[in-house]
Structure 1
Amino acid sequence: MPCAPFPIPPPGSASKNSAFSNRDDCSNRTSGSSSAPLGWGKGGERMRSLLIGIVGFLLGIGCWSYVGPVTGQSRTLPFTSDTIAQIAQIAIPAVVNIDTVMREINPFQNLFGTPYFTEKGVGSGFLIDASGLIVTNDHVVADTQSLTVTLTNGQRFTGRKVGHDPLSDVALIRIKGANLPTLRLGDSESLRVGDWAIAIGSPLGLQKSVTAGIVSALNREIAINERVNFIQTDAAINPGNSGGPLLNVAGEVIGVNNLIATRAQGIGFAIPSNLVRSIVDQLVSKGKIERPWMGIALTSLPSNEGVLVAGVSKGSPAAQAGLRPGDVITHLDGRTMQSPGQIVQYINGKSVGNRLEVRFLRNNEKKSTVLVLREMPVG
């Protein structure tokens, strides 16, 4: 791992639309020069969709797009008419603007003489270490050739990606700095529906933008990413907010802004800070994420009375435990399971090598087995 560890406090299947892209949707990317004309070929299609700013995922009510140690309860402060302004004044210096450049092969280079085209984008991030470690979304920095990080005082740095986890959409980048302002990761488990939420970032490249709202819901499961139980907020989030912080009234980061519902207003989603802390801790200490794995494909049942096993990977922990396609998992370690997301979240909280008691139905007959989690294979 290129960066030295720093202290991190411990914490207190739906189908996808083929038009959806897991990258850059709301990191506000636009296309640059030395490229094929806009609208031609694969690159042109990507550029057009990025300029529109919406590459969606259809899920019931509409379209989803990427946007871009506390122990125990978080500190609570009296809320006054000055609270949001005070938090903004303290937090804004630790929020950064991230400009990105991608280079793609031009499929029409023989006709137009330009070997590649470029895409420029913008996203947000925030400093968690005074020497220059920054948290952002993986889709902001994935597949980029260059990263330019701008602080709110105008200082510009070349950024370097030092770790990422595409499955949770969290990434770390580093700049060379000293005595930089930082933000503290709060305890997302202490959140309540109705708590104040403050978003800071660079929507549409407009740096130092602050919006406020409330926590609208907790533990939202979205088929785009069933590995995250999202915080839903009505604080305004727009393309370019990706990777920026969602704060509580104590000025602590409670989430990383990530998704918006593009066919609605006031529906945004953030990755909870406790999950972010876990990902960052592993990336810093190990350089990778050791994610526990069962080796099964899951699908929901209309009755919510268990989760259907749609497939079992050969040689996987599930296969070794005797699970088969068609089984219905009803309990893990005695806890009732009613959705694929619920199982994924429970497994995410476990470690490689942990043993699970799995209770399931096979042809309406109750059965149980013990499954030993292994590390998820790469790829």
Structure 2
Amino acid sequence: MLNKVIGCFVLFVLFNQHSLAQLPDFTGMVKENGAAVVNISTTQKIPVESDDSAQQQLPEGIPPEMEELFKHFFNGPGGGYMPRETKSLGSGFIISHDGYVLTNHHVVKDATEIVVKLSDRRELLAKLIGSDARTDVALLKVEATDLPVVNIGSPDQLQVGEWVLAIGSPFGFEQSVTAGIVSAKGRSLPGGNYVPFIQTDVAINPGNSGGPLFNMDGKVVGINSQIYSRTGGFMGLSFAIPINVVMNVVEQIKSTGKVSRGWLGVQIQDVTRELAESFGMKRPQGALVSKIIPGSPAEKSDLQIGDIITEFNGQQIETSGELPPMVGMSPIDGKATLKVIRQGETKTIVVKVGLLPEVDEKLPEPKVESKPTNRLGITVIDLTSAQRESLQVIKNGVLVQEVGKGPAKDAGIQPGDVILRIQNNSIRNVSDFERIIKSLPAGKSVAVLIQRQGNPGFLALKIDK
């Protein structure tokens, strides 16, 4: 019996020694790179809520200088605003011996003064060379020489499950080190269409913004930028901007002072299981074209609404979020080769990549009068010229006035939507609409193209009987 106990104990010790041997040691990496990570403090004149409703919703114990950076992650509600001067903290890292520093755009946005604090306690005034809101990247410059620098790595080589490490100043605690693994790659987030984010479970909190994410070779593979949280604190979901995207922005800022991106001029969406069925696809994949912008490169090509883009310059497109970063980093005026699925057939289309323009403001939605149409449980009306102009509908379409119980409601159609197309049939007017819905098959998903508040999109609709 004693021998069995001793044997089990030996196995337990050996097992734990083996497990410990597999855990990474980050001490050398921190010693080598910690000096190149900096603390960034800014003075800003920002709009602040005139009442204390948002302040009451922030977690307790937040230092005053961290409130504004916290709101970037927390997304507090709006309200009445009045300007005041405040200070905020973030992180950054040095990429050149002569003083170029990288951080997030939101860390230095609207800053009247930027101070970079080095690991040796020196504090240097920084000049903003340029920043890009779309990627949330900012390039700073301090007057110094022989500064420690980080080594730039390749995020393309990162594997899901690989260990990564972050150094930064969460809540102002400088040179804090946290580690975790890569949870996913190529994540598309709201407002981040041109960034294929690296998702990790590294503990990132307000103040880590702009700090580096290292791989196990001690090279920077990303900038820690955002967290997903219901409390404002870390909840296991952190997102970093891939360093190849960052360095592309840096080179453009250095050479031209601004950032230019490629543009096709299409609005796209994911292909759901129901939409895949309606388009005769074996599985959901690709980016479904729901709108082609007038005067855009896409309009000048053979691309059509309803095409499903499955490849861009030889790179496979599984989800719609993968396409914008590829297009954005493409050379302006260069030719791109797209593979698309159109009505069950695969086609190759060549598009000349254009320059991404500024985003236009959306026009308000007008009030309308109804005309009964009951086949799908909705009422629709023809569009007047004024309504077309206001709703940004150039041609075709009927306007949804009311939505009752039925297939349309189940599909997600709402009052104010414009129905442009059902399956492969364009809807010119109410007569077209009524004729086409009478012939829809029962028990099969049908693709319906709608436009909502200026944005088109496909929905899958199924009539039970």
What is the TM-score of this pair, normalised by structure 2?
Answer: 0.59
Superposition deviation, residue 366 in structure 1: 5.5
Equivalent residue in structure 2 for 1:98, among 27, 40, 48: 40
Q: Distance in 2 between matches of 1:102 and 1:225?
A: 24
Equivalent residue in structure 2 for 1:377, among 349, 357, 381: 357
- SS class of match (1:83): coil
- SS class of match (1:320): coil
The amino acid of 2:183's aligned partner reads S
Structure 1: state its 5+ residue gaps: 1-78, 109-114
Asked if 1:278 corresponds to 2:248, the answer is yes
Q: Distance in 1 between matches of 2:314 and 2:84?
A: 54
Equivalent residue in structure 1 for 2:321, among 335, 338, 341: 341
- SS class of match (2:35): helix
Deviates more, 1:98-107 or 1:197-206: 98-107
Superposition deviation, residue 84 in structure 1: 1.2
- SS class of match (2:98): coil
Paired residues, what number?
296
Q: Distance in 2 between matches of 1:248 and 1:87?
A: 9
Q: Distance in 2 between matches of 1:376 and 1:82?
A: 43
Structure 2: state its 5+ residue gaps: 1-20, 51-81, 274-283, 360-465
Q: Distance in 2 between matches of 1:218 and 1:106?
A: 35
Q: Kindly indicate which of the two structures has a greater share of residues assigned to helix.
A: 2
Superposition deviation, residue 81 in structure 1: 7.7
Runs of 4+ in 1 over 6 A off after TM superposition: 79-82, 105-108
Q: Distance in 1 between matches of 2:46 and 2:166?
A: 32
- SS class of match (1:315): coil
Asked if 1:88 corresponds to 2:30, the answer is yes
- SS class of match (2:152): coil
Asked if 1:287 corresponds to 2:257, the answer is yes
Q: Distance in 2 between matches of 1:229 and 1:130?
A: 29
Asked if 1:357 corresponds to 2:337, the answer is yes
Task: Report what 1:157 is aligned to.
Answer: 124
Superposition deviation, residue 182 in structure 1: 0.9
Q: Distance in 1 between matches of 2:295 and 2:303?
A: 11
**Deviation digits for residues 271-327 of structure 1, max 9, x if unmatched?**
112222222222223322231111111112213244222222221101111434444
Q: Distance in 1 between matches of 2:170 and 2:101?
A: 18
Residues 201-216 of structure 1: pairs in structure 2 closer than 5 A? 201-216=168-183
Q: Distance in 1 between matches of 2:338 and 2:218?
A: 41
Task: Report what 2:290 is aligned to.
Answer: 310
* Contact 2:103/2:137, CA 8 A, preserved across alignment: yes
Q: Distance in 2 between matches of 1:294 and 1:243?
A: 30
- Structure of higher RCO (CA pairs closer than 8 Å, 6+ residues apart): 1
Q: CA RMSD in A?
A: 2.6
Percent identity over the alignment? 37
Q: Distance in 2 between matches of 1:146 and 1:202?
A: 19
Superposition deviation, residue 135 in structure 1: 0.6
Superposition deviation, residue 189 in structure 1: 1.5
